[in-house]
Amino acid sequence: MQVIDGQGRLFGRVSLLDLGALVIVVVAIAAVLFFPGRQAGSVVQVGGGSPVPVEVDMIVRGISSRSMEPFQAGHKADLIIRNQPYGQVEVVRVENVSRTVPMVFPDGRVQNLPDPEAYRLDLVLTLRGRGQRTDSGIVLGNNRVKIGVPLELETFDYNLRGTVMEVRLLQS
């Protein structure tokens, strides 16, 4: 009796290709069970400390609005970080940083005038909430907040999407 026959079967019963595929599947399952990848922890696991006041500067470009009236400091707003709801934050400050265009006049003077594109605003909003300080940064909810992280801010009057410009811990 031959160990491997002419058709590539072991002892005439099991195909070597099927046996190889079974070994690969078993090794993959064992690797997932015994060597799991790095998993993100919750705030309790990551920080464990008490919440501290945090301010986040968020820049929003190209808002289609006729005026600055809806964007006032002192409002409460719902914050969404990386498509995950955080809860409510307070809008502490609103700064209009819309672009200006240098205009040269016939008498030689140069004056910066607002961008002639109508109904377009660029704003920096300062938001205040509570977060935790960890070894890898500031955490709001279950999300690390760093420069460049996408945010969404929603109130009764507006829904804005922007990015983080700065994150600050405040003194308690």
- Give me the domains of the chain, ranges plus CATH numbers: 1-37 (no CATH), 43-169 (2.40.30)
pLDDT tens digit string along 113-123? 887 777 888 99
Instruction: Return the bridge partners of 138, or none.
Output: 133, 145
- DSSP classification of residue 38: -
Matching residue, tokens 């240098």? 102
Predicted TM-score of the model (pTM) = 0.65
Rounded to whole angstroms, the Cα distance separating 148 from 145 reads 9
Query: What pLDDT is attached to residue 110?
Result: 94
* Lowest mean pLDDT segment, chosen from 4-8, 138-142, 159-163: 4-8
52 vs 49: which has the higher pLDDT:
52
Secondary structure (3-state) at 101: strand
Calculate mean pLDDT across residues 127-133. 91
